[in-house]
Amino acid sequence: MATQLRSLPSVDKVLADGRVQRLVETYSRGAVVDLVREQLAEARQAAQRGEPAATLDAVVEGVAKAAGSRWEHWPLPVINATGVILHTNLGRAPLSDDARAAVQRVAASYSNLEFDLDTGHRGSRQGRLSQLLAQLTGAEAALAVNNNASAVMLGLAAVAAGKQVIVSRGEAVEIGGGFRIPDVLRQSGAELVEVGTTNRTYAQDYENAVTERTGAILAVHASNFRVVGFTHAPTIPDLVELGRKHGIPVLHDLGSGCLLDTSQFGLAKEPMPQDSIASGVGLAFFSGDKMLGGPQAGIVAGTKELVGKLSRHPLARAVRMDKLSMAALVATLLHYVGSEATDKIPIWRMIAMPLEDLDLRAQRWRASLGGGASVVDGASTVGGGSLPGETLSSRLLCLQPSGAGGVEALAARLRRASQPVIGRIEDGRLLLDPRTVLPEQGDALVRALKEALR
């Protein structure tokens, strides 16, 4: 063991290697020295376990690998060929060209984020957003925070802290990532009152639970699962009527933030904020980076009185959006104002894409590979906790490699491409769905496929 330890290269010897010197020139000597010491410490521990002593080349390679994994830009852009349009693990909605340009403009300069150019005095960062959201949803006022979980928590804290909030037992759900409605209620300072059963809840159940301590009725759209069969739930207008009768605001968490009618694309109808506002809810909560197709955001639309309570609450500052997200959100909303969402917002282009266009793209990829692939029928999904069970017909590029490692090895090689490609594996086949591959990514996907298949 002592001989093995003595044979390990010194810090100075590793630093003298040309490959490590290039790292020093790119980064800094101190940072690289730390990596060298870490690699040598691991090599010493391995030698003490009786493993062969690491060579100079092995240590240098370890340093280079650690530098690449720690100091490269992150997150990296990937090609989503899974067919899941709102893929949570891949960053959900890609932004439109206009939204990306808006972010770049604001990032490169100072802006009038909180400055009124007309008066020369301080302005509101929510003013422009509130006007656009009110116009699109029919609400009296609106605001945006950093995500929908924050929006719901802020709404409950401002409206119902120290009071009871009535929720159907079938809607006291976990939306995802540990975001549970009962936990959010506790954190907001409100008290949960569950009514009804998992599968059947009636308006009378809510009314029976109303007391002098009731602060709100909360309706939650179960966006990532579906209960079928022997079920019943009161409509939003039913709850609003009950709320008016007792002077209790109705809060509606829609989740996805869908401003277009999904039934026109052959999908089930997703709840829309406009419908909730028209029904008379006090506050409607929804996401910006799901079916709205914009940046991560939590949007609250509703009455001027209740939105005002939220904007004045101390928690509002803690969960407010940054300037880059606000720029992207405004640009995205303008697509809806201009009736151009299906032309310019990537997720709506994907949802609306005709089957013949998908087939044409998949056939083009197959032809570029010169054999070894086929085009098959398949299905895309919306994803992102939206429209569970709903699919869109698609045409997929299918690969069934017979070489070493098979389909798993091929998928791994594609993930390691210069622009990583993420597909899906089903029944021993690697499937690539053109619906979720952006138009400008087609050539890069083919290059990655050719390299991976070699």
- What is the domain class of 95-344 according to CATH? alpha beta
Q: What pLDDT does 147 receive?
A: 92
State the pLDDT at residue 7: 82
Residue pLDDT, tens place only, 214-253? 999 999 987 656 667 677 889 999 999 999 999 999 999 9
pLDDT at 178: 61
**Are the CB atoms for 319 and 152 separated by under 8 Å?**
no
Listed in order, the ranges of the chain carrying CATH 3.90.1150.180 are 79-88+347-453
* Residue 405 clears pLDDT 80, i.e. is over it: no
Task: Choose among 237, 254, 339, 337: nearest CA to 300.
Answer: 254
The Cα angle at residue 240 between residues 239 and 244, in degrees rounded to 5: 120
Whole-angstrom distance, CA of residue 182 vs CA of residue 179: 9
Task: List the one residue out of 172, 168, 175, 224 whose CA is nearest residue 200.
Answer: 168
Which structure tokens are listed for 95? Answer: 């932004």
Query: What number is the average pLDDT over the span 320-340?
Result: 97
pLDDT higher than 90, residue 390: no
The enclosing H or E element of 415 equals helix 406-415
Two tokens at 398?
């299918």
End-to-end CA distance of the chain: 43
Question: Contacts by 62-67 with C-beta closer than 8 Å and gap 24+?
Answer: 63/14, 63/20, 63/23, 63/32, 63/35, 63/36, 63/39, 64/19, 64/20, 64/23, 66/35, 66/38, 66/39, 67/23, 67/27, 67/32, 67/35
- Structure confidence at residue 172 as a pLDDT band (50, 70, 90): confident
Distances (CA, A) of 81 to 286, 359, 372, 383: 27, 14, 18, 13
Residues 6+ apart with CB under 8 A from 164: 190, 191, 192, 193, 209, 211, 213, 214, 215
Of the CA atoms within 13 Å of residue 223, those in its CB half-sphere come to 27
**Matching residue, tokens 């549970």:** 180
- Give burial (CB, 10 Å; 0-12/13-18/19+) of 259: buried
372 pLDDT above the threshold of 90: no
The residue type of 397 is L
The pLDDT of residue 226: 66
> Can you say whether the dihedral through the CA atoms of 53, 55, 56, 60 is positive or negative?
negative
Q: Rounding to the nearest 10 degrees, give the CA dihedral for residues 224, 228, 232, 236.
A: 30
User: What DSSP state is assigned to residue 263?
Assistant: G
Contacts of 347 (CB under 8 A, 6+ apart): 85, 86, 93, 94, 291, 293
**In whole angstroms, what is the distance from residue 92 CA to residue 289 CA?**
6
Q: Evaluate if residue 134 carries a pLDDT over 90.
A: yes
pLDDT digits (tens, 9 = 90+) for 61-111: 999 999 988 888 889 999 999 999 999 999 999 999 999 999 999 999 999
Strand ranges (DSSP E) for 201-355?
214-220, 250-255, 283-287, 298-302
Cis upstream peptide for 75 (omega within 30°): yes
Distance CA 244, CA 152 (A): 21
Residue that wins the pLDDT comparison between 176 and 333: 333
Positive or negative: CA dihedral 163, 169, 175, 179: positive
Residues 6+ apart with CB under 8 A from 9: 40, 55, 56, 59
Q: What pLDDT score does 370 carry?
A: 84
Q: In the predicted model, what is the mean pLDDT of residues 302-315? A: 97
Is the pLDDT at 49 greater than 80? The verdict is yes
Q: For residue 318, give both structure tokens.
A: 């803690």
Structure letter (DSSP) for residue 27 = S
Q: Give the 3-state secondary structure of 103-171.
A: HHHHHCCCCCCCECCCCCCECCCCHHHHHHHHHHHCCCEEEEECCHHHHHHHHHHHHHCCCEEEEEHHH
What's the mean pLDDT in 442-450? 96
| Domain made up of 79-88+347-453: CATH architecture | Alpha-Beta Complex (3.90)
**pLDDT averaged over every residue in the chain:** 92
Tell me if residue 194 falls in helix, strand or coil.
strand
Q: Which residues pair with 421 in a beta bridge?
A: 79
Place of tokens 């028209």: 278
- Please indicate whether residue 50 or residue 435 has the higher confidence score (pLDDT): 435
**Region 164-188: what's the mean pLDDT?**
78
Residues of the chain with CATH 3.40.640.10: 95-344
Tokens linked to 113: 């984020």
Residue 206 backbone dihedrals phi, psi, to 5 degrees: -65, -45
